[in-house]
Amino acid sequence: MTEHSRPRQYPHSQPPDSASRAPGSHEFASDESVSDEPVSDEPVSGEPVSGQQSLRLRLRSLDAFPIVPGDFDAATVPKNPYDLMATWLDGAISSGVSQPHAMVLSTVDGDGRPDARTLLLKDVTSDQRDRAPGSDSGAGRTDGFWFASMSDGPKGEQLVENPAAALTLYWREQARQVRVRGQVFEGPREVSEADFRARSPQARAAALTGEQSKPLPGADAVRRQLAAAQEFVAGNPLFVPRAWTAYRLQPEEIEFWQTTAAREQVRVRYSRTASSWEHASLWH
Ligand SMILES: Cc1cc2nc3c(=O)[nH]c(=O)nc-3n(C[C@H](O)[C@H](O)[C@H](O)COP(=O)(O)O)c2cc1C
């Protein structure tokens, strides 16, 4: 039997059997995510990476949500998801969540193959209080989640081939996740330039060195190129490479997810309508 033809293995319990569950039962989800059952040492599938069972057992015995987080009342959320995003981001920053601006950007290339990488969230602009200068594409909208990168690397090429993308933020200290789906647009040139110039000289020199995601030459060549870029940046503090781009993901959906102190998974998904937003609570 090949890896692909094996039935899916469930770590702590049997696959959900909807026919045998009462409507509304949370049995499977809560068992799977926060089980206190002893961990089985029965093989899952394939060889463990460590060559022995201990790493697999240790992974399977870890607590899904070791932190007891706060509550999230789905009944009192605001109408506009950007208001909730601002509250959550503010709470994450002020309560000391580590790298609350780190997020995973998922893209799809022209052949339909997904890719993903971590980036920094640079700004969130709402559709109530637009702040981005000018108006770029996207039916005149300027709202969304902003990030910056070189446009001539893999993610930039993928976004040209297919602008549909997703963002995932996970704040483990708060057991919170935010998922965003939408289309990515290039922001106005002046936003890209301001973003690049706000970076430290070291970060600017690093961005100017080599070609993002291409294989490295030898260490000596890397050192030489970096030194040359540092000298260039010192002499040209306003220079911005053409490929440096501020991107805006304009959401169609934003989902807020929280595990509560009662170990419930509370999810609220906002969907864009023609003129506003609607939201609904989701099953775990
Ligand atoms: C915490 C963290 C933050 C990052 N922030 C950025 C960023 O803001 N912009 C960027 O281009 N790459 C950033 N990177 C590097 C990317 O993950 C990735 O390696 C790079 O952008 C090349 O991606 P690509 O090959 O998919 O184009 C970051 C990596 C980490 C781990």
Give pTM, 2 decimals.
0.82
127-180 pLDDT tens trace? 754 344 344 445 577 899 999 999 999 999 999 999 999 999 999 999 999 999
Q: Is the Cβ atom of 104 under 6 angstroms away from ligand 1? A: no
Assigned CATH class of 80-199+246-282: mainly beta
Distance 228 CA to ligand 1 centre (A): 22
Q: Is the Cβ atom of 271 under 6 angstroms away from ligand 1? A: no
Q: Is the Cβ atom of 210 under 6 angstroms away from ligand 1? A: no
69-96 pLDDT tens trace? 678 999 999 999 999 999 999 999 999 9
With a pLDDT cut of 90, the percent of the chain lying above it is 61
Q: What are the angstrom distances between the C-alpha of 283 and each of 103, 168, 200, 226, 268?
A: 24, 19, 44, 50, 9
Which of ligand 1's atoms lies nearest the C-alpha of 150? 11
- Of the listed ranges 39-53, 147-161, 189-203, the least confidently predicted one is 39-53
Q: With beta carbons less than 8 A apart as the criterion, state whether 226 and 206 touch.
A: yes
Backbone phi and psi for residue 75, each to the nearest 5 degrees, phi listed first:
-80, -15
Q: Is the Cβ atom of 119 under 6 angstroms away from ligand 1? A: yes
CA neighbor of 84 nearest in space, from 187, 169, 186: 169
Distance 212 CA to ligand 1 centre (A): 9
Backbone phi and psi for residue 251, each to the nearest 5 degrees, phi listed first:
-75, 145
Burial letters 11-34, b for 16+ CB under 10 A, else e: ebeeeeeeeeeeeeeeebeebeee
